[in-house]
Amino acid sequence: MEYKTTYKFRLYPNKTQINKIDYILDLSYKLYNAMLEQRKIAYELNKDFYEDLKVNYNTQSVELSKLKKEFHEYNEVYSQVLMNVADRLDKAYNNFFRRINEKKKGKKIKAGFPRFKSKKQYRSITYTQSGFKIMDNTHLFLSKIGKIRMFKHRNIKGNIKQLTIKKDRSNNYYATFIVEENNNINYSLFPYNAIGIDVGLISLIKTSNDEPVEPPKYLRRSEKRLKRAHRSLSRKQKKSKNRENARIKLAKINNHISNQRNDFAQKLSKKIVDNHNFIAYEDLNISNMLKNHKLAKSIEDASWGMLINDIIYKAERAGKYYIKVNPRNTSKKCSKCGNIMDDLSLDIREYHCSKCGLTIDRDLNAAINILNDAINKIFNKFIVIKKIKNKHKKRVGTDCAEFMPVEGKPIPDKANFSMEAGSPG
């Protein structure tokens, strides 16, 4: 099985190399804007004068050789970096038309016509196939730029397909490699150590094994530093050197918070995937939940989406099972008898079932419900497929978008599996 992964390393260019990278970025964003203007003019001419002007990726990429003859400064930029500029604009147009089609089908989104880029917005260049070479663990060679010092903290496994050089808002430089890896995944025949995960704000996650993980609250801890940095930035005169230094200081604080969240999510997801073979989680619509302004900051600080995404890709590569379930009534339903309490408010942290008398932690009850719903979802799918196979007398694939089993894998006995998962009673 082939899949793509990314490796990100910090670069330490000298002053000459920094000037070269910034110069290439400056030329690239100007070229992007010129190509966008060319497309807009061609559209207006076709609409108003019925001209047959075709301006797309193919025509614009072919014109790059003429561009270098007219504007000699573009000879300082590697050819594939220039072609990638045209490719970015083409993708922006394709996404624009895709969103228009989705909007026509009833989806409530903005079409988002491609916009002109400012110098601050265009912060990366891409080598798509060649023009770069890893010299050793400490240096990277880039065509038209030279040999740059790089901190390569781990080995790259697989074939490198693309390299992106990015300048972040704190003026640090990074090299991101897109690598294609071959991984022969061996799914175990029996999903053991099943776990259900309920995400929250009091506990970041609560598992069906009653293992809570407290939220680190990195944003809350850094709020005073952020406020001071924002005040300092607002006092500085616009376009001054002091204002730029204050902006970089603020960006470094934000980058530090982001790195802390990412590090925590990576370590926690690795622990979950290493210790469990079957993982169930809620299919939450986090963007809608952020509309609650009383909880939005805490939800963003918890970074649920980042944690779930890390669990998914680690589970896929490790050959582990994962499945998402509908979050409806997972907190209100009794994990023992199935009774639903409609009047359960968020401030009630213990679940007391009025029907069977079960008293249990609210988040633990939800985690167990998530696991049981996932198990029921698998077996219901399995039963439907069995009926179809018996009806049509032919083999039907066990395709499920959320569940990733190997086709033809034996399914364990439901009762034994549910008991092993930790369901009460």
Question: Which range, 203-207, 290-294, 381-385, is most confident?
Answer: 203-207
Q: Which residues pair with 10 in a beta bridge?
A: 151, 174
Residues 76-111 as b/e (b if ≥16 CB within 10 A, e otherwise) read: ebbbbbbbbbbbbbbebbeeeeebeeeeeeeeeeee
Q: Of 108-112, 183-187, 204-208, where does mean pLDDT reach its minimum?
A: 183-187
Question: Which residues make Cβ contacts (< 8 Å) with residue 299, sequence separation at least 6?
Answer: 201, 286, 289, 290, 292
More confident of the two residues 3 and 58: 58
pLDDT at 409 over 50: no
114-123, 279-288, 321-330, 343-352: least confidently modelled range:
343-352
C-alpha 322/C-alpha 101 separation (Å) is 32
pLDDT at 319 over 90: no
Residue 258 CB partners (closer than 8 Å, separation 6+): none
Cβ atoms of 42 and 56 closer than 8 Å = no
Q: What is the pLDDT of residues 347-367, one digit of tens each?
A: 888 888 888 888 899 999 999
Q: Which residue has the higher pLDDT, 17 or 347?
A: 17
Identify which has the larger pLDDT, 403 or 162. 162
pLDDT for the residue 82: 95
pLDDT in tens, 356-403: 888 899 999 999 999 999 888 877 766 555 555 565 554 444 444 343
Give pLDDT tens digits for 134-149: 998 899 999 999 999 9
**Residue 281, token pair as written in the block:** 């989680």
pLDDT in tens, 102-116: 999 888 888 889 999
Residue 191 banded pLDDT, cuts 50, 70, 90: low
Strands 278-282 and 194-199: parallel
Share of the chain above pLDDT 90, in %: 58
> What pLDDT does 400 receive?
41
Confidence of residue 44 (pLDDT cuts 50, 70, 90): confident
410 has pLDDT over 50:
no
Least reliable range by pLDDT among 154-158, 279-283, 380-384: 380-384
Q: Order across the sheet with 205-207: list the strands.
A: 212-213, 205-207, 194-199, 278-282, 321-325
What tens digit of pLDDT does each residue of 294-304 get? 889 999 999 99
Euclidean distance between CA atoms 367 and 49, whole angstroms: 63
More confident residue, 354 or 256: 256
- Strands (DSSP E) contained in 193-250 are 194-199, 205-207, 212-213
- The predicted structure's pLDDT at residue 398: 40
